[in-house]
Each structure stands twice: as structure tokens, then as C-alpha cells.
Chain A
Amino acid sequence: MNKSYTVNARILWWRFLLMASGRNLKRSLRRTAISLLAISSAVAAMVVFQSFVNGVKSTFRHNVITSNYGHYQITRHGFRKNESDEPFAYQITDAAKLRERIEKEVGPLSFFAQRQIFYGLLNSNDRSVGGVGFGIEADEERRFLTLVQVEEGKHLAEGGDLSVFVGYKLAERLRLKPGDNVTALVTTKTGSMNALDLEMVGTFKTGITQLDEGSYFIHHRMAEQLLKVEGAPIFMLGFNDDDELKYQKKLNKVVADHDSTLEVAHWRQLAEFFDNTMGWVENQVFVFRIIILIIATISIVTVFMMGLMERMGEFGTMRAIGTHRQSIAIMIFFESILQSTLGSLIGIGTGMLIIKGLLAKGITMPPPPLMSVPFHVTFLIPWANIPVTLALCVLVAGGAGVLPAWRMARIRIVEALGRNV
């Protein structure tokens, strides 16, 4: 048995066999169509779902940034840890200069605002309630942040110097109506008491109980006077586009260079819930993917196996006239890979069509908890995920052919021949 195989003749044989594979797929068009449908629907579902998740992530991200965080916040080292012990020890005073440097050296800002936080009593109608006061640059913040929505009356930005904007539940407790007078009583930097008569211009609602029940906003410039301080411990900033990560390195450098006692925090460090929530969503996606793949695989294997059983006699003939087991296995495996590649490509195309057609306008959902703006999800083709999805689907669906291929390669020839009637 000294065979003189030539490489060329070997290639010819495989080509011949693979040509037969292609024809087999064409032969049982209906069955192939069912398999393709199973694969492509699974893949399309994965693509659309991925797009949905990406949309949720990007909207959620945008909403978190624009609710109350900005892209970055600048504070002095130690502020977030020790602020309650020494409330006024972390003031940053040169806002204008820092802003100018960032805009010049890092990138265009859409907002830059100082925030003072203080504790004090609000007095009105013989009632007094303690709360957290914020001294804010209302115009700046309102351009970018959405968390604070007017419930009654008007926004602090529209009120004069001596205005106060109060959480709606706090207002209820103080029985305040817009236009009422209220006195803020605080401890100043030097330890003395100070008071300021203010006019309540409106109430706000954030959905965050802590804020709605116990906080109020005054103009930053008035907070400086009231507390006898200069500047603010927190600078919030937002860039013109939502791709803020590209600025991070430069921003860190410029801020450190400007004043080495300053530090920059990215919004994700401040909004820890974001990562937790997204982690939860990713887990759901993972489970969803596995389920889809399992269902698709089961249906593909079933349909595929049915087709092979019908061709059992044929395999018996091939084996009898001298076709090796591995040839049979490879031929079947090739059919399954061909089918899964085709199905996956169709599925990706279908997914894209659904995204570009049916879902082009995106979907709008009511505001989620702790958010005050409707949740709009935009569907984009998840280009970054498509190669992995494609590879995964081709592998899983194609791999589903391994077991049937192996089984058909090991049929008993005589038994299989008996199927040829």
C-alpha cells in the first residue's frame, strides 16, 4: 500500500468534497433555510440587544454626568475625607485663572462652576429646620446639569442676589411659598454666627430624598459673604463633548501644574453606582447571550441531525467505496461552518437593518429612579462588538456540527447501506 499522494491530487479531492457540501446545502433548501433562520435570528437578536445595551449605557452615562456631576471635579487633596472636620479649610480661590488655563491648554469647556457646601438653619414662620446649603453659580450649572428641576416658582438663576431655592419637601416643612421670606443662619469660617434674609423664589425636585428634604441653594457670591470665605472647595467642569476621557491626562497635568495641592476626580469615581449598575446590566446581557446561543445551538443541531439522518445511506455508500472517516467528518463539519457563517452574516445584516430602520428613532422611556429627565435610548450599530459576535456565532453554530460530524463518520457501514432502498 505505497501510496504516492501528490499535494495537488489531495487538493482536488478536498475541493471536490467541499463542492458536494455546498450542493448539499442547496439540495435541502427548506432545511437549510430553517437553520439559517435559527442562526440569523439569534445573531440579529444579539446585535440589536448589544446596540440596546450600548445605547442604555451611553444615555445612562450622559444622564449621570449631566445630572449632578459634570465630567470632572477639582478639589484640594483631603477635602473629600476631612471636609466635615474643617469645613472651610479647603477653599480654592482662583477659579477664573484655572478655568482660563484649562480652556486654553486642555479643551473647550461647556461649563465651569464653583460650589460651596455649608450647614445652616433656615428660619421662617417661627419654624427652623437644619439643612445643607449649596452656594452655586446658577447660570453655569443650569446650562449643564439637569438634576435640579423647578417644582414651583422659578429657578435660582432667575432670582436676584438674595434668593434661595429650596427642596420641595423642605419647603413644605417650613410652609414656604414662593415669595416668602426666610432667614439663613450659619456658622462662619471664623466661628461666629451670621444670618442672611432671603426670598424664597422657588422649590426644586430631584427625586433624591436627601436633597428634596434637606437642601437649599443660594448664589455662590452670597455664600461667600455669608460664610466669610473666598472661592469654593469644589470646582465642577464639563467639556463640550461627552468624550471626556481624552482630556483626562492633560487635565490632570494642567491642574497639578497650576497648584500641586489640587486633585481631579472623574465623575465615575464620584458616581460609584454607575459601575455597579452597568455591571448588573452586563451580567444580564451575558446571561441573555448564553440563553440565545443555547436555544439556537439546540435547534441547529436538531435540524442538522435530521438532515444527516436522511443522508445516512449516502454516507454508507461513501464509506463502502473507500471514503475515510475523516473525509466524511470534514465534509459535514464544512457544511455546518458554511451554514453558520452564512446565517451569522445574514443575522448581522438583519440586525443592522432593524437598528437603522425600525429603531432609527430610538426609544424613550420614563425617567429611571434618581433621574429627572426621560431616558432616551439611541440605537447605533455596535461596530466594536460585531467582530466578536460574528466569531462567537460562527464558532458556536459551526461547532454544533462537530458532534453530528463525528457520529456520521462512525456509522456502521452495513447498517447505513441498508438505508438505501
Chain B
Amino acid sequence: MSEIYQLANVSKTYMVGKVPVDALNGLTLSIRKGEFAALQGPSGSGKSTLLNVVGLIEKPTGGTIRFRDQDVTNASEGLLTDLRQECIGFIFQSFNLIPVLSALENVEYALYLEQKFSRQEVHARAMKAIQSVGLERFAMHRPAELSGGQRQRVAIARALVKEPQIIIADEPTANLDSKTAAQILDLMKRLKDELHTTIFVATHDKAIADMAERIIKIKDGKIDEE
């Protein structure tokens, strides 16, 4: 019950032309609620693939996934979309903000999407999230008018505003300089300490790994060591 994810014997095979490439190769893994787990491994080892599977945006070709004690291995796209919307916050390496929306609106997007809140509530919650990442002065700026670090902070605000059960981050600091990366790191630490959100992050960044409670090493699509 304390496990949010249970992956059993998960594999993901891509066909490159006629050649099968095993990105995940019979991987078994559990993630506990509230833990901060860092995923490490050489390039091409399957980190992103694993995050995509865990993030429910990619279906494995073999094995089973249980999310919150629910078998979602063969769930419909509609259900998976709902789960992503309500339970999972994403932080991407390349920020992935919506260019026509301001910083604040990018955060509001996640709330409007849930169709649960009034306008005032959406605005108040989004504003609070923007403040918590220190961007109140830039709330009305479009992504193009923000620095890389600021964009990633908007992305973090977008992920945390809906109070997700898990935040999945794929190399969140890889596109940032070390100083900015440190700020993002601070933010993630606060997330962990204040909100007790489960965090699953793939990273080459030693600072993140040092902060994590658990380090999962992956190699050739399999858990290498913990």
C-alpha cells in the first residue's frame, strides 16, 4: 500500500526498421510514496524510456505496471490521460511550456484542465505557485521572454500547482548552467520537504543524486544496482 508504482518485468522494444531495440529489458521496480528517487545510468540505458512508461505516456511492450494499486498496463488512453492530468506532474529537460500562454497562464492551464476550480480559485492557486518559484514579477511574460532557468521554474510551478502524487523529471537541469541548476535543485528539495511529493528524477547531475534518498542505477534497460 505504501508503494505508488509497482513495475514487474517491464520491457519496451522499439523497432528500428526491422531491428528490435530493447530500451527496457525485463525491468522490475517499486517506488514508494513520498520518496525522492534518482535514476542514473549511461546514455542510452533506458532512463527516459522508463520515465515515459512510469509517466503513463508510453505503454510497455511486456510486463505489468500498477499505479496506486491499479493495474494500468492495458488501460485506455482516456483513463491514462485522466491519471496524468490528476496525479502526475512532469518536468522536462526542454521546459515544454506553451508559447502563446504567459507564465501564469501556463500554470493555470494545468488547473483549468482539471475542470474542478472556479476562475478565482484557478488564478489564486496559480499565482501562489508562481510566487513559490519566485516568478511573480514575470507572471505575465511569455516563455520567449524568460531565461532558461525561469522557464524551468514555470514548468515546476505547472507541475506542483495541481499537487500531484508524483513528479517525474527527466534531466531537469541538463539545459541549465550550474548556478541556475542549483536554484532548481533548491526548489525540488522544498517540494520534497514541504509537500512530501514523490519525486522520480533521471539525472546525470551529482547534486541531485546527493539529495536523493534512493539512487536507482539502470543499464541496458535493467536495474543495475541500488
Contacts and interface: CB of A to CB of B under 8 A. Distances in A.
Are A and B interaction partners? yes
Interface of A: 1, 3-6, 8-10, 12-13, 16-17, 20, 23-24, 27, 313-314, 316-325, 413-414, 417, 420-421
Contacts of B138: none
B30 interface: no
B81 A20 contact: no
Contacts of B98: 20, 314, 317-318
B176 interface: no
Given A20-B100, A27-B99, A9 B118 contact: yes
19 contacts: A1-B82, A1-B83, A9-B114, A13-B113, A20-B100, A20-B101, A24-B100, A27-B99, A318-B98, A320-B90, A320-B96, A321-B85, A321-B109, A321-B158, A322-B82, A322-B114, A324-B81, A414-B52, A414-B58
A329 B105 CA distance: 20
B57 A319 contact: yes
A324 B78 CA distance: 7
A413 B58 contact: yes
A12 B57 contact: no
A179 to B, nearest CB: 88
A12 B119 contact: yes
Q: Which 6 A-B pairs have the closest CB atoms?
A: A322-B85, A23-B100, A317-B96, A9-B115, A322-B84, A413-B57
Interface in B107-127: 108-110, 112-119, 122
Given A6-B115, A9-B118, A319-B57, A417 B96 contact: yes
A319 B94 CA distance: 16
B163 interface: no
B65 to A, nearest CB: 16
B81 A322 contact: yes
Contacts of A316: 96
A13 B86 contact: no
Contacts of A319: 57, 81
B77 interface: yes
B109 A5 contact: no
Given A322-B82, A324-B81, A414-B57, A421 B113 contact: no
B55 A320 contact: yes
Interface of B: 52, 55, 57-58, 77-79, 81-86, 88, 90, 92, 94-101, 105, 108-110, 112-119, 122, 158
Nearest to B119: A12
A415 B145 CA distance: 27
A203 to B, nearest CB: 78
A13 B115 contact: yes
- Determine which residue in B52, B78, B88, B109 has the highest number of CB atoms from chain A within 10 A of its CB, and name it: B109
A210 B46 CA distance: 92
Nearest to A24: B100
A142 B96 CA distance: 81
Nearest to A410: B77
B94 A420 contact: yes
A126 to B, nearest CB: 96
B82 A314 contact: no
Nearest to B80: A322
Nearest to A23: B100
A304 B88 CA distance: 32
A314 B85 contact: no
Contacts of B83: 1, 322
Nearest to B85: A322
A4 B116 CA distance: 7
B167 to A, nearest CB: 12
A319 B114 CA distance: 13
Contacts of A313: 96
A321 B110 contact: yes
Contacts of B105: 16
A418 B118 CA distance: 34
Contact of A322 (B86, B96, B99): B86
Nearest to A22: B100
B55 A12 contact: no
Contacts of A325: 77, 81
A6 B112 CA distance: 12
B11 to A, nearest CB: 16
Contact of B112 (A3, A12, A27): A12
A14 to B, nearest CB: 9
Contacts of A9: 112, 114-118
Given A9-B114, A324-B81, 7 more contacts: A9-B118, A20-B98, A24-B100, A317-B98, A321-B85, A323-B113, A420-B92
B171 to A, nearest CB: 13
Contacts of B112: 9, 12-13, 16-17
B55 to A, nearest CB: 7
- Determine which residue in A3, A5, A13, A321 has the highest number of CB atoms from chain B within 10 A of its CB, and name it: A321
Contacts of A12: 112, 115, 118-119, 122
B79 A1 contact: yes
A10 B90 contact: no
- Determine which residue in B78, B83, B92 has the highest number of CB atoms from chain A within 10 A of its CB, and name it: B92
A318 to B, nearest CB: 7
A326 to B, nearest CB: 9
Contacts of B90: 320-321
A11 to B, nearest CB: 9
Contacts of A1: 79, 82-83, 86
Contacts of A24: 100
A13 B83 CA distance: 18
Contacts of B92: 317, 417, 420
B134 to A, nearest CB: 22
